[in-house]
Amino acid sequence: MSGRRRRHKERLCRDEPLSVRGCSRPRGSAFRAWQAMEASREIRTRLVQLIGNLIVRSIDEARQVPCVIPKDQLIAMVIERPQQFEHLVQEEQLAQAELSRAELTVQFDALHEIAQFRHLDRTGISFETTVESDEEFSAAVQQIHELSQSFIVYTSNALAIFEKEFEIFLSKFRRSLDGQSRTETPILLDADDLNGLVKTAGEYLAAGEYIQAFSFDRLLFSKVIGDDLIQIPLPGPLLSPLLIESVSGDADRFASLVKFILRACYVSQGGWMDLFKTLWRFVGSQPETYHHTRLVDLIERDVFFTCNLLRESFSSLKRWSRARRREAIEKSLGSLP
């Protein structure tokens, strides 16, 4: 190599540390900056892995919820199933649950009770059924109310577990920085950093565990992540649009997902309505993949979502023609932000 070409190459190595054109790494002050950037990237990668592990642990542990056994059921158990009563007492003594100090409790699986809202398939209520009054409709509404209680308990439990565990981690992390006399510099996580969580959330989605899959975004953007030390300076949600897009090419899976999202909106008492808005924005951005009329079809089949969306009673909407209901649904969707 000539002296002129060698000097030109060395200049490139010094001046372009992130695009090193034949150099294994930059040199001098550029090398120290490159080292810092690589270290920061590794810290962010490991931090996202830890956050993912905490989310998985939280959504799993949250499913076990202690429930006080009603007095009449307890008396019947003592008389009719004494062995089961003895077993429960032993479990309570081992668990030392908070509620067991005053009451006998039993652990119930919240996710099993919720069953991804599949129990609602049994209602069989539609605008074409023979249900004639709001009174008959109220039995199904009561079932939704019971689902709402279990759903809110589960999601609140998952959030509480995640925030507690993450705060414990932050406390340890700060002590580690203090021990090394290092200044606390905010760690900013970007979309590329968080992409690693999409695969984990997608595994829940593929298994039909929609609540767990979409809980990732809700925990990821909880207030504890907005800590001064760790921040996500991005508008949420980040993972939900990618999860929705991942099944959009399969008509059956996408219809199943849409059914879940519609139900999540009213079972959560509006708390998950933002997930439907994410779905609506995706459908609007991908007309060649999923035309919005297919979404209107699925909405019109869900009488509970339709009643909430149009703010009309079931008995009133039942008297409307299908064309009128669809027209009203499209108009309401068009006004969504």
* DSSP string of 289-335, one letter each residue: TS-HHHHHHHHHH-HHHHHHHHT--HHHHHHS-HHHHHHHHHHHHHT
Give the lowest-confidence range in 84-88, 173-177, 258-262, 319-323: 84-88
Number of domains in the chain: 1
What integer pLDDT is reported at residue 10 of this predicted model? 43
Q: Tally the residues of the chain.
A: 337
Most confident segment among 8-22, 149-163, 169-183: 149-163
* Token digits of residue 244: 């929705």
Distance CA 61, CA 223 (A): 20
Non-local (6+) Cβ contacts of 97 within 8 A are 66, 105
Distance CA 202, CA 209 (A): 10
User: Is the model's pLDDT at 87 over the cut of 80?
Assistant: no
Non-local (6+) Cβ contacts of 41 within 8 A are none
* Token digits of residue 265: 């909106």
Q: Is residue 267 part of a domain?
A: yes
* Token digits of residue 55: 């989310």
Vertex 65 angle, CA 59 and 70, to 5° = 160
Tell how many helices (H) and how many strands (E) occur in the chain: 16, 4
Q: Is residue 262 part of a domain?
A: yes
Non-local (6+) Cβ contacts of 119 within 8 A are 143, 147
Distance CA 70, CA 78 (A): 13
Distance CA 245, CA 317 (A): 32
Range of the domain at 59: 42-69+104-334
Q: Is residue 10 part of a domain?
A: no
Q: Is residue 13 part of a domain?
A: no
* Token digits of residue 113: 């009770």
- The tens digit of pLDDT for each residue in 102-136 reads 455 556 688 888 999 998 988 878 888 766 566 66
Distance CA 48, CA 125 (A): 44
Q: Is residue 151 part of a domain?
A: yes
Non-local (6+) Cβ contacts of 242 within 8 A are 198
What integer pLDDT is reported at residue 306 of this predicted model? 96
Q: Is residue 4 part of a domain?
A: no
With CA atoms as reference, report the closest residue to 110 among 69, 156, 70, 77.
156
* DSSP string of 185-227, one letter each residue: --EE--HHHHTHHHHHHHHHHHTT-HHHHHHHHHHHTSGGGGS
- The tens digit of pLDDT for each residue in 194-223 reads 888 999 999 999 999 999 999 999 998 888
- The tens digit of pLDDT for each residue in 267-286 reads 999 999 999 999 999 998 88
Q: What value does the CA radius of gyration of the chain take, rounded to a whole number of Å? A: 27
Contact 318, 127 (CB under 8 A): yes
What's the pLDDT band for 23 if we cut at 50, 70, 90?
Answer: very low
Strands 187-188 and 105-109: unpaired
Q: Is residue 9 part of a domain?
A: no
What integer pLDDT is reported at residue 6 of this predicted model? 45
Q: Is residue 91 part of a domain?
A: no
* Token digits of residue 46: 């490991």
| Residue 188 backbone dihedrals phi, psi, to 5 degrees | -100, 120
